[in-house]
């Protein structure tokens, strides 16, 4: 089975092909759960050294603040998606042990999590710390982790762009792109949102996806793909291409490369023909806190 059904996902049981990493909920949700509400995060960079600082930010403090604020949301989200660089710089085991500690309140509150592998992550160390993570290696994908989360209004495609730990540019690879094309072609009428760590590279910035052209050429004609969501840049932006495809760069939850960028996470609400994104700034004095964007679906 290459998809996580809505019923199994919400109950904390998951099936996946390849598998992004799903950390199932360990407790029952307290209160109403909205199956169309997801929290999107990126670049949490949790560190085993609780005193570590980068750009005058302690990432352990910011992840704990974000978890606290997510737990205050009502109704509860159906899941939390972290678009890579979950831990510090080299994907060390103590970093994942700290991440495990900080994510426990969400899991105990009945909220499952999906974590992508960014360029600062390490798959082996992750698996050693999270033995209960739902990871099923499908025959189609041998080295990467990809999955589909089915929800009433749209499917989340969770992709793996980590080429190697501490190697800045990313890559999907021919095998994963072939799987993506085949899986999308099985559901041409169902809206799809793709999530991974790396942004599309440009002539001015080659630290993104090395196979950007192949990826965009694959999804551009498949109009059920409504948006691509990513992190990596520690910046926040919402753009739309001429063909209607939305490109969403999630803000970092840890340090910032540019102080004018917001720090926080995004509250995503799926609807029949769109998705509403609300920026949640950890600094409540930031005037962009509560900023709303509606992504209207391009037509098939």
Q: Which of these, 112, 118, 82, lies nearest to 6 by C-alpha position?
A: 112
Please list, in sequence order, all residues whose beta carbon lies within 8 angstroms of the beta carbon of residue 244, skipping any fewer than 6 positions away.
Answer: 223, 297, 298, 299
For residues 187 and 182, give the distance between their C-alpha atoms in angstroms, rounded to a whole number: 9
The stretches in the chain having pLDDT less than 70 are 1-22, 29, 132-141, 300
Kindly state whether residue 28 falls inside one of the protein's structural domains: yes
Kindly state whether residue 131 falls inside one of the protein's structural domains: yes
DSSP H/E element including 120: none
Kindly state whether residue 170 falls inside one of the protein's structural domains: yes
Q: Say what the pLDDT of residue 76 is.
A: 94
Kindly state whether residue 212 falls inside one of the protein's structural domains: yes
User: Kind of pairing, strands 246-249 and 237-240?
Assistant: antiparallel
Kindly state whether residue 1 falls inside one of the protein's structural domains: no
Contact of 64 with 107, CB cutoff 8 Å: no
Confidence (pTM): 0.91
The model's pLDDT over 98-142, given as tens digits with 9 standing for 90+, comes to 999 999 999 999 898 888 889 999 988 988 888 766 543 333 567
Q: Which of these, 182, 167, 154, lies nearest to 17 by C-alpha position?
A: 182
Contact of 80 with 70, CB cutoff 8 Å: yes
Q: Say what the pLDDT of residue 140 is.
A: 55
Q: Say what the pLDDT of residue 10 is.
A: 40
Q: Which CATH number goes with the domain that contains 108? A: 3.60.21.10
Q: Say what the pLDDT of residue 112 is.
A: 85
Q: Say what the pLDDT of residue 298 is.
A: 96
Domain count, the chain: 1
* Adjacent-strand bridge partners of 240: 246
Residue 152 token pair:
């009433």
Q: Where are the beta strands (DSSP E) in the chain?
A: 21-23, 33-41, 76-82, 113-115, 147-150, 155-158, 192-195, 225-230, 237-240, 246-249, 264-270, 274-281, 292-296
For residues 135 and 128, give the distance between their C-alpha atoms in angstroms, rounded to a whole number: 12
Kindly state whether residue 117 falls inside one of the protein's structural domains: yes
Please list, in sequence order, all residues whose beta carbon lies within 8 angstroms of the beta carbon of residue 71, skipping any fewer than 6 positions away.
Answer: 105, 106, 109
Kindly state whether residue 235 falls inside one of the protein's structural domains: yes
- For residue 190, the enclosing domain spans 6-296
Kindly state whether residue 155 falls inside one of the protein's structural domains: yes
Residue 94 token pair:
């103590």
């Amino acid at each position: 089975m290459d998809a996580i059904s809505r019923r199994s996902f919400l109950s904390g049981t998951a099936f996946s092909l390849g598998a992004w990493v799903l950390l199932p909920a360990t407790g029952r949700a307290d209160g109403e759960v909205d199956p169309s509400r997801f929290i999107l995060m990126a670049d949490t960079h949790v560190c085993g050294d609780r005193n570590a600082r980068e750009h005058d930010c302690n990432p352990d403090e910011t992840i704990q603040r974000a978890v606290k604020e997510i737990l205050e949301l009502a109704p509860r989200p159906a899941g939390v998606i972290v678009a890579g660089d979950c831990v510090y710089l080299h994907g060390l085991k103590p970093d994942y042990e700290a991440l495990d500690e900080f994510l426990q309140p969400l899991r105990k509150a009945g909220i499952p999590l999906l974590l992508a592998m960014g360029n600062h992550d390490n798959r082996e160390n992750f698996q050693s710390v999270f033995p209960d993570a739902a990871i099923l290696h499908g025959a189609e994908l041998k080295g990467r982790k990809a999955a589909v989360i089915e929800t009433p209004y749209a499917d989340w495609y969770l992709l793996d762009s980590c080429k190697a730990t501490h190697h800045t540019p990313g890559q999907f690879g021919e095998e994963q792109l072939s799987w993506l094309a085949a899986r999308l072609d099985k559901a041409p009428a169902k809206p799809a949102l793709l999530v991974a760590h790396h942004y599309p590279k440009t002539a001015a910035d080659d630290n993104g996806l090395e196979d950007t052209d192949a990826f965009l050429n694959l999804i551009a004609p498949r109009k059920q793909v409504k948006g691509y969501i990513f992190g990596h840049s520690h910046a926040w932006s919402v753009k739309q291409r001429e063909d209607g495809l939305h490109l969403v760069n999630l803000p970092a939850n840890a340090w910032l490369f540019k102080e004018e960028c917001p720090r926080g996470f995004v509250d995503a609400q799926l609807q029949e023909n769109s998705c509403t994104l609300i920026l949640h700034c950890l600094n409540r004095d930031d005037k962009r806190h509560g900023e709303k964007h509606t992504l209207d679906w391009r037509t098939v």
